Structure 1
Amino acid sequence: MTTTTESKNNNDESSIELSVVIPCLNEADTLEICIEKAQRAMRDHGITGEVIVADNGSTDGSLEIAEKMNARIIAVQAKGYGAALQGGIEGSAGKFVIMGDADDSYDFLEVPKFVDKLRDGYDLVMGCRLPGGGGTVAPGAMPFLHRWWGNPMFTFMARKMFKMPTHDVYCGLRGFTRELYDRLKLTCTGMEFATEMLIKSSLTGEKIAEVPITLHPDGRKNRAPHLKTFSDGWRTLRFFMMYSPRWLFLMPGLFLVFLGLIGYGLAMPGVAIFGAVLDAHTLLFASLSIIIGYQSMSFAVLAKIFSIREKFIPEDKRINRFFEIFTLEKGITVGACVSLCGIVTLGTAVVHWWQTGFAGLDYAETMRIVIPGFTLTILGYQSVMGSFFASILGMPRK
């Protein structure tokens, strides 16, 4: 990321406790009031700090406003909400960083509440706008779908999937230590940046606190908000799933395998349910469920290994134990044995056909041999190939 910095702050950088970073892209309507509130909050509470405007290419006079307000401007060439914040944070001088949007929906006069928690030793302090965490949404401040569906749903998912101790996953007003930011090595340049920060902090067991805040109506008059309800909602859901192989691959895979085994248990003896006989066709569907489920479970392991190796997520003791037990040779042996059982089973069906002089066979009886045979053959082959892939991902490297 390429940035250029223009300093408008007379504080000695070594004495700066707090950097307030405000991403900016044509925010002339509200930027001045945001800067003024942040500066007043620090001044009134004896906080030595700076206000940084991380500009992403404004052309509406935002830069002139920042200069007039004696804020420090960091021009970030890489486009995106996350890119702007990264540029501003990396150019900051404070021990603590507080980030917040420039639309005046977040009240920067609440900054001292975040600083108090950071001084108490917390690594990340999240604002909470929702009543579940003591926050307040002012009338007209949040669209109906965001208030009653999007935010509650994604917050519930985050608490379930990543054990987040927060009640408002989307809140953009938050504070954190510069040391935490450097350690997390965040990579997202879009709106997922804020979500990545919270997920990684939760997964690595950081000390996270939450303070109630009030969300005010967007103060901008001359342009629409950057947020897009459905596309940004999908991006969040996609990000959640990619950061959780367990919920994306493992849980659906286990369910499908379980469903397939039930199908086998009913179809092999030809059980009748409500007059419907579960026969070879049910067996075929059950095999499909098992094969897809097993593949999904394999993806869970492979995705977990890759994510850990690339440092998307922290190390997992279960994966370490997996490699203590698993070897490529064991995987090949088990997979080959399973495939061999499948081939032998298929061979039994061929022999039976040969014994009849290659005449017609009883469909239901024959398929009870053929379907399990090809299912075992496929599962064994998947196991061999998956073992090679896991070994490739797990190879030691510098």
Structure 2
Amino acid sequence: MSAIDAPILDIVLPCLDEAEALPWVLSRIPEGARAIVVDNGSVDGSVAIARAGGALVVECPQRGYGAACHAGLLAATAEYVAVCDCDATIDPAAALDFVSVLRGGADLVVGRRLPVGRGAFPLPARVANLELARRVRRRTGLALHDVGPLRVARRADLLALGVADRRCGYPVETVLRAAEAGWRVAAAGVEYTPRAGRSKVTGTLRGTVQAVRDMSAVLAT
């Protein structure tokens, strides 16, 4: 079998109108990994671009970041699964480095954004992330400073966590459930560059407020 037939890593890419970003993102999928593009209702040709780029495309009619993440996790077959933003802010090749951290003893590796370039990590999103990370640290005792635009773990373990949020609270719930399960959670730096195309979430004030609400709701449970 080829590496794509039996990938060691599936990279789940939740996607909503990312036609501008997808060509670069898919070109950065490392050898031995497979891209799973989970389309959440795109109307800009993202699906055709994903298929042309060799990705496995999964349709997710239920809107929401968490819904797309869960659909990708169900479609994955590799031992390791990464969930990565699909807007070209993060090089998905970094996920292989995270797998090395897992093999070194971690159960979950969470990316910490290291902004590179003008316009990366807009101020509203950065401030909101700092506060959310502080609340996660207080709740879990984990030394995390980011809620993670790139997360990697073993597929079977992720499924067993039973993460239920289907909106923007999904990353926070993943970390909370991992901590409750006694997982060894590690943080790793990842370069974060200005996104390609129009932001639907953290690049807008409205999107940031909604994301904070979703994550805060998870923290309040």
**Do they fold alike, i.e. is TM over 0.5?**
yes
What is the distance in 2 between the residues matched to 1:50 and 1:230?
33
Asked if 1:126 is matched to 2:143, the reply is no
Contact 2:39 2:60 in 1 (8 A): yes
For residue 236 of structure 1, report the CA deviation from its aligned partner.
2.0
1:219 aligned residue: 196
Contact 1:138 1:214 in 2 (8 A): no
Asked if 1:240 is matched to 2:215, the reply is no
Asked if 1:173 is matched to 2:157, the reply is no
2:128 aligned residue: 150
Contact 1:164 1:199 in 2 (8 A): no
2:7 aligned residue: 16
Contact 1:104 1:216 in 2 (8 A): yes
For residue 12 of structure 1, report the CA deviation from its aligned partner.
6.7
For residue 31 of structure 1, report the CA deviation from its aligned partner.
1.0
| Change in CA separation of 1:143 and 1:136 when aligned onto 2, cut-off 3 Å | closer
What is the distance in 1 between the residues matched to 2:7 and 2:105?
17
Larger Rg: 1
What is the distance in 2 between the residues matched to 1:30 and 1:241?
34
For residue 71 of structure 1, report the CA deviation from its aligned partner.
0.9
Asked if 1:66 is matched to 2:66, the reply is no
Give the aligned residue type for 1:185: G
For residue 11 of structure 1, report the CA deviation from its aligned partner.
4.9
Give the aligned residue type for 2:123: F
Which is richer in helix? 1
For residue 137 of structure 1, report the CA deviation from its aligned partner.
4.8
Q: Which runs of 5+ in 2 are unaligned?
A: none
Between the aligned residues of both structures, percent identity stands at: 28
- How well do the aligned residues superpose, as a CA RMSD in angstroms? 1.8
**Over 4 Å off, 4+ runs:** 9-13
What is the distance in 2 between the residues matched to 1:191 and 1:204?
21
Give the aligned residue type for 1:111: A
Q: Which runs of 5+ in 1 are unaligned?
A: 1-8, 130-134, 243-398
For residue 112 of structure 1, report the CA deviation from its aligned partner.
2.2
What SS is found at the alignment partner of 2:93? helix
What SS is found at the alignment partner of 2:133? helix
For residue 10 of structure 1, report the CA deviation from its aligned partner.
6.3
1:30 aligned residue: 21
Q: Output one character per residue of 1:18-44: Cα deviation in whole Å (capped at 9) or x when no partner.
A: 001101111111111111111xxx22x
1:116 aligned residue: 100
| Change in CA separation of 1:36 and 1:143 when aligned onto 2, cut-off 3 Å | same
| Change in CA separation of 1:10 and 1:76 when aligned onto 2, cut-off 3 Å | farther
Contact 2:201 2:211 in 1 (8 A): no
Number of residue equivalences? 217
2:137 aligned residue: 159
What SS is found at the alignment partner of 1:199? helix
What is the distance in 1 between the residues matched to 2:135 and 2:66?
22
Give the aligned residue type for 2:144: T
The correspondence of residues 229-378 of structure 1 with structure 2, limited to 5 A, is 229-242=208-221
Which is richer in strand? 2
Give the number of the structure with larger relative contact order, counting CA–CA contacts within 8 Å between residues 6 or more apart: 2
TM-score of the two chains, using structure 2 as the length reference: 0.91
What SS is found at the alignment partner of 1:104? coil
2:74 aligned residue: 90
